[in-house]
Amino acid sequence: MATTVKPAPVKWAQRADLVYVNFEVQDVENPEVSVEENKVTYKATTKDKQKFETVLNLFGAVKPGDSKWINRERGAEFVLIKAEQGFWKRLLKEDTKYHWLKVDFNKWKDEDDSEDESAAAGGPGGGTNFEEMMRQMGGLGGGGASPFNDLDDLDVGGDGNENDSDDEQIPELEGEAEK
């Protein structure tokens, strides 16, 4: 029985200086990966013997030596460093829609978006600090300040219930008062 090879589901996003690519294939132990200047090749076999192969002919050039990737339980995550700054019209050279290729809106940043957020992460586009980028990509550790940590503005009464200035006494229902 021949095993069919399917394209891996891919999500991508970009910054001016890099491209995030995530091959969403779970339970792969040793994927075969090749990052070239204009092409990324991903081959994988899952624990239950499903085979995936995807070749991405990139819209622009990347720096293979500076680009990084990591294999995780839920897929392989890539940070491809662009050879030239700027935003690509699309990920692939060919102007074709593929059912397996989607935009990762959680990481997406438009050309006209502020660079302040990425500069705070360690340089232009988040810098090339691989550990920091992977922490951001995978949600590792970090913790950080949460707007929910500061709850001092809540007025909690002695009974443990929140007291709010716009809380009013609710009038009794008609008929309830007569009982």
- Give the up-direction half-sphere exposure of residue 67: CA atoms within 13 A in the CB hemisphere: 25
Q: What percent of the chain has pLDDT over 70?
A: 65
Hey, what domains does the chain have and what are their CATH numbers?
A: 5-137 (2.60.40.790)
pLDDT at residue 47, rounded to an integer: 93
Mean pLDDT of 52-57: 97
**What does the mean pLDDT of the chain come to?**
79
CA distance 20 to 81: 9
pLDDT tens-digit profile of 137-159?
654 444 444 444 444 554 555 55
Q: What angle do CA 95, 105, 107 make, to 5 degrees?
A: 105
Q: What percent of the chain has pLDDT over 90?
A: 55
Higher pLDDT, 23 or 129: 23
Q: Phi and psi at residue 66, in whole multiples of 5°?
A: -90, -20
**Beta strand pairing call for 39-45 and 32-35:** antiparallel
pLDDT at residue 86, rounded to an integer: 94
pLDDT at residue 71, rounded to an integer: 94
Residue 102: pLDDT band by 50, 70, 90 thresholds?
Answer: very high
pTM: 0.63
Beta bridge partners of 43: 32, 53
CA distance 38 to 66: 14
Classify residue 88 by burial, with Cβ atoms within 10 Å: 0-12, 13-18, 19+. middle
Coil, strand or helix at 13: strand
pLDDT at residue 32, rounded to an integer: 96
pLDDT at residue 110, rounded to an integer: 75
DSSP string, 75-109: EEEEEEEBSS-S--S-SBSS----TTEEE-TTT--
- On the question of pLDDT at 134 being above 80, the answer is no
pLDDT at residue 91, rounded to an integer: 96
CB neighbour burial string for 114-140, b if at least 16 within 10 angstroms, e if fewer: eeeebeeeeeebbebeeebbbebbeee
- On the question of pLDDT at 116 being above 70, the answer is no
Mean pLDDT of 100-127: 65
Residue 115: pLDDT band by 50, 70, 90 thresholds?
Answer: low
pLDDT at residue 118, rounded to an integer: 44
